[in-house]
Amino acid sequence: MDHLGGYSQLLSCYVWKLKNCKFHMCSSEAVATIWTIEQVHRNYNFSMQKGRGRTSRIRRRKLLRTSASGGVNESHRSEFIELKKWLKERKFEDRNLTPAYFPGTGRGLMSKTSLREGQMIISLPESCLLTTDTVIQSYLGPYITKWMPPPSPLLALCTFLVSEKHAGDQSLWKPYLDILPKSYTCPVCLEPEVVDVLPQPLKAKAKEQRARVQEFFASSRDFFSFLQPLFVEAIDSIFSYSAFLWAWCTVNTRAVYLRPRWRECLSAEPDTCALAPYLDLLNHSPHIQVKAAFNKETGCYEIRAASRCRKHEQVFICYGPHDNQRLLLEYGFVSLHNPHACVYVSTEI
Ligand SMILES: C[S@@+](CC[C@H](N)C(=O)[O-])C[C@H]1O[C@@H](n2cnc3c(N)ncnc32)[C@H](O)[C@@H]1O
């Protein structure tokens, strides 16, 4: 009852803050409050499950130690155990980081040991990357090669994601697909009535983005129909707008940058995106500078720490010098204390 009392008190305090302060709170404060509610809820669930033995005491102490730095270790979760096995088969093992949940930023990666400036923090072999090469070498390859005009690199990646997600247990990428978000918070995924209450300049951008994605989907439907021989179910039920939007957001919010490559069977748009399982659990901080790139000599996508990081701290990378409007549009979040923050003023004002 103690737990329940404390929990509901804390929760109602935050809910009250959200309800009553919504007119005074900026969107980033509101988002932070929602995250705090989530964290209270998670801590509550954890404490209700705790046992009374020595092992539970040790575990609890360990949790307190890690939560002192903000993160709760999540490496015990079945999806991360499966992902780790899958990465090991592809010659990747991580000694520096571990998946964890952080108040404020949500799921991310936490350092297991202190990291020096310039130290390699992740070196992910090419065999773990999902690129257009992966797609072309798959069962989709012959269809992509035959389709005219050639599909874009982005369409190839989205098609592969939707198809593999549909394959479920049969997919070779299942352990990766299982850790991907089920839904996204980018404005392109919001209901039009919600977009309507956004500030004018952001609303215009969000509408533009939605129209672009809808047009991209509409213009790809003939290509999807061409893939029907690969599936038993009707193609429209597999390549629905919601499945396509999920795949688009997956690439848009998580892909890393590779040097442009050109493939004859793909359109001339730059082919620069790769999905990098595990590495894509790194969250963004505008205050961090990291060195990240594909190293041709080692055949790995490498990230080096640009500054030191203490044990059990969240390890961040920087997605770019983005203001909060851009972060929300492209990644579905805003950054507190963003040095690139700016206010957009419409021309009428
Ligand atoms: C590359 S993923 C990073 C891992 C992600 N948090 C996850 O759980 O899979 C990018 C997404 O993480 C979230 N994210 C990244 N940095 C963040 C931050 N500083 N604050 C809040 N959310 C963040 C956003 O949802 C973003 O679209």
Whose structure tokens read 């404060």?
29
Ligand 1 contact via 165 beta carbon (within 6 Å): no
Ligand 1 contact via 331 beta carbon (within 6 Å): yes
ipTM of the complex as predicted: 0.99
Number of other residues whose CB lies within 10 A of the CB of residue 75: 15
- Ligand 1 mean position, distance from CA 181 (Å): 10
Residue 61, pLDDT > 90, answer: no
Ligand 1 contact via 322 beta carbon (within 6 Å): no
CA–CA dist 221, 227 (Å, integer): 10
pLDDT for residue 349 = 79
Q: Going edge to edge, which strands form the sheet with 120-125?
A: 120-125, 300-304, 291-295
Which phi and psi angles does 288 have, rounded to 5°?
A: -110, 145
- Tens digits of per-residue pLDDT, 255-279? 999 999 999 999 999 999 999 999 9
- Ligand 1 mean position, distance from CA 283 (Å): 5
**Which is nearest to 248 in space by CA: 195, 151, 183?**
183
- Ligand 1 mean position, distance from CA 63 (Å): 22
**Which is nearest to 3 in space by CA: 52, 43, 57?**
43
pLDDT for residue 234 = 98
Amino acid identity of residue 99, one-letter, is P
21-38 b/e (C-beta count within 10 Å ≥ 16 → b): eeeeeeebbebbbebbbe
pLDDT for residue 44 = 33
- Tens digits of per-residue pLDDT, 206-241? 999 999 999 999 999 999 999 999 999 999 999 999
Structure tokens at 72: 């709760």
pLDDT for residue 59 = 62
Ligand 1 contact via 330 beta carbon (within 6 Å): no
Residue 47, pLDDT > 80, answer: no
Residue 36, pLDDT > 50, answer: no
| Distances from the Cα of 243 to the Cα of 183, 230, 233, angstroms | 10, 17, 15
- Ligand 1 mean position, distance from CA 105 (Å): 7
Structure tokens at 302: 């490498």
Structure tokens at 7: 């929990």
CA–CA dist 313, 105 (Å, integer): 13
Q: How confident is the model at residue 60 (pLDDT cuts 50, 70, 90)?
A: low
- Tens digits of per-residue pLDDT, 105-119? 999 999 999 999 999
- Ligand 1 mean position, distance from CA 347 (Å): 32
Q: How confident is the model at residue 307 (pLDDT cuts 50, 70, 90)?
A: confident
Mutate to test the pocket of ligand 1, among 284, 303, 323, 326 (most ligand atoms within 8 A of CB): 284
Ligand 1 contact via 253 beta carbon (within 6 Å): yes
| Percentage of the chain modeled with pLDDT above 90 | 74
For residue 292, the 8-state DSSP code is E
